[in-house]
Amino acid sequence: MDQSLFHLINEEWTNPALDLFMAALSNGAIWKPLFIGIALAALLFGGFRGRAFIVCLLLSLALAEPVTAVLKTAFDRHRPKQVESVRMVQLQRTRPAFLTLFKKPVIRFSDQSDRNRAGPSFPSGHVVTNTIIAAYCTLFYRRRGWLYCFITAAVGYSRIYLGAHWPSDVIATLFLGVGEALLLLALFELIWRSAARKWMPRLFARHPSLIALGGRARPPGALKRCV
């Protein structure tokens, strides 16, 4: 089932427009300036909630990276291109990176040389990162933050489309990312309530919780929209 679905997404359900879109979606260099701009805007103009969101998110992403590396080594699962020939989409290199969106990507099938160019398949670093972002957007910005879940789903699909991961890698990583986000945010909340009450009592009086809005705590089922 895993291989059958992979081949459908990677080889059958393809077209030139999707080739460019999926490859661009997985290319972090294209979107890095945008994310930096959003982070700076949240820090400067987002008030307490914006600053708490960015600080917690950056700490979570930094902590999740070594966890992903350890799990990759522990599971040591081969990527699709390491066990068979898969369809690959490669963006042309440009400076600045976003200019690649205006150039036709290169389509080719993996060969022996590709098998040693990538690390283990599970978990997916792209999916972990975007799942944590989606979880935090949902928890900190309940009204519209959950919309980032669609971006996370698209990124996960792109990793299969591009031949980088099996469908089961993506699905399992989604649950892993949500679990990491919730555990880390619970830890940050505990630290905030303990440290801020002692060292910043006035600020704590106004903001007793990192994710509360208008004095109301976030409902426990807020992340169900992402599943």
pLDDT digits (tens, 9 = 90+) for 151-173: 999 999 999 999 999 999 999 99
Phi and psi dihedrals of 128, rounded to 5? -60, -50
Amino acid at 198: K
| CATH class of segment(s) 2-226 | mainly alpha
Q: pTM score > 0.85 for this model?
A: yes
The reported pLDDT for the residue numbered 216 is: 45
The reported pLDDT for the residue numbered 1 is: 83
Distance, in Å, from the CA atom of 90 to the CA atom of 203, rounded to the nearest integer, reads: 49
Distance, in Å, from the CA atom of 156 to the CA atom of 44, rounded to the nearest integer, reads: 31
Decide: helix, strand or coil at residue 80. Answer: helix
The reported pLDDT for the residue numbered 116 is: 76
Distance, in Å, from the CA atom of 109 to the CA atom of 120, rounded to the nearest integer, reads: 19
Ranges of residues in the chain whose predicted pLDDT is under 70: 212-227
Residues 6+ apart with CB under 8 A from 165: 79, 80, 121, 122, 124, 127, 159
According to DSSP H, which parts of the chain are helical? 2-7, 16-25, 28-45, 47-75, 80-83, 125-140, 148-161, 167-199, 201-206
HSE toward the beta carbon, residue 67, CA cutoff 13 A: 15
- pLDDT tens for 55-75 read 999 999 999 999 999 999 999
Nearest to 145 by CA among 46, 17, 61, 29: 46
Distance, in Å, from the CA atom of 212 to the CA atom of 33, rounded to the nearest integer, reads: 29
Distance, in Å, from the CA atom of 178 to the CA atom of 181, rounded to the nearest integer, reads: 5
